[in-house]
Amino acid sequence: MTTEPQFFEARDGVRLAWREMGEGRPVVLLHGLFSNAEVNWIKFGTAERIAREGFRVIMPDLRVHGSSDAPHEPEQYPADVLVRDLEDLVAHLGLSDFDLGGFSLGARTSTRAVVAGMRPRRLILGGMGLAGLAGWAKRGQFFQRVIADYETAKRGDDTWLSIQFMKTMKIDRVAASLLLDSFTDTTPEMLSALTMPTLLVCGEQDQDNGSAEELAAVLPDARLATIPGTHMSSVTQPEMGEAMAAFLAA
């Protein structure tokens, strides 16, 4: 199933895309790094499963990803630019009472948005542990190495799979490098802002962003759903949509 992208302009004039499925209470879902809304949420049925519970599922393609623009100007990548883009989408759609969720980079961005003052009713953080929020610098260095090794990596290198995914998804390397530099750390102290009910949904073999259990322990109102898979494969599992739908509909 595909839904056609719609477009709006962010505050800096960059054209960004989003897709929708279903009707009802809005829930905004943010995809992971180098992915897009179609692959992360639509292809494997997650959005459809949530929509069946009576939700309007709103899925942007983040800046540099999918159908959204990937500018090469450094000034278009200020700190937390993805949070600004999310705020602009919420304003463009006139949303006031909504839920928010994301996977990996989408979870980071959702967390940063709440720290900045966004107040969704419920929050979903997929594929995320405490280290993925508080220790972004190390993870960011890995992805900068992915970009640097794009043409030279060999099968078996630790960057190989990420490079193949970038190539499949046709990611602009110049824009991706600029975007990576816009990300900022979220300290454990900042997480006290996440007062709303929060679902952590994570693959049982997923430690890419650290420990989801550690993150659950420091959040004010969190519950953890462990599903099959690794960081890359967990988004393909029907259990992802089941866990998210059950949490949002509760």
Average pLDDT, the chain: 96
Helix residue ranges per DSSP H, 72-201 = 81-93, 105-115, 130-134, 136-148, 160-169, 173-180
Q: Which domains can be identified in the chain, with CATH numbers? A: 6-134+186-249 (3.40.50.1820)
Q: What is the pLDDT of residues 122-150, one digit of tens each?
A: 999 999 999 999 888 788 899 999 999 99
Query: Residue 162: its pLDDT value, please?
Result: 95
Contacts of 143 (CB under 8 A, 6+ apart): 33, 162, 176, 180
Query: Residue 248: its pLDDT value, please?
Result: 98
Give the Cα separation of 76 and 51 in Å (integer): 33
Residue pointed to by tokens 């959204």: 68
Q: What is the pLDDT of residues 176-219, one digit of tens each?
A: 999 999 999 999 899 999 999 999 999 999 999 999 999 999 99
The 3-state DSSP class for residue 250 equals coil
Q: What is the band of 2 on the pLDDT scale with cuts at 50, 70, 90? A: low
The beta strand positions in the chain, using DSSP E, are 6-9, 15-21, 25-30, 55-61, 99-103, 123-126, 198-203, 222-227
Overall average pLDDT of the 107-119 stretch: 98
Q: What is the band of 1 on the pLDDT scale with cuts at 50, 70, 90? A: low
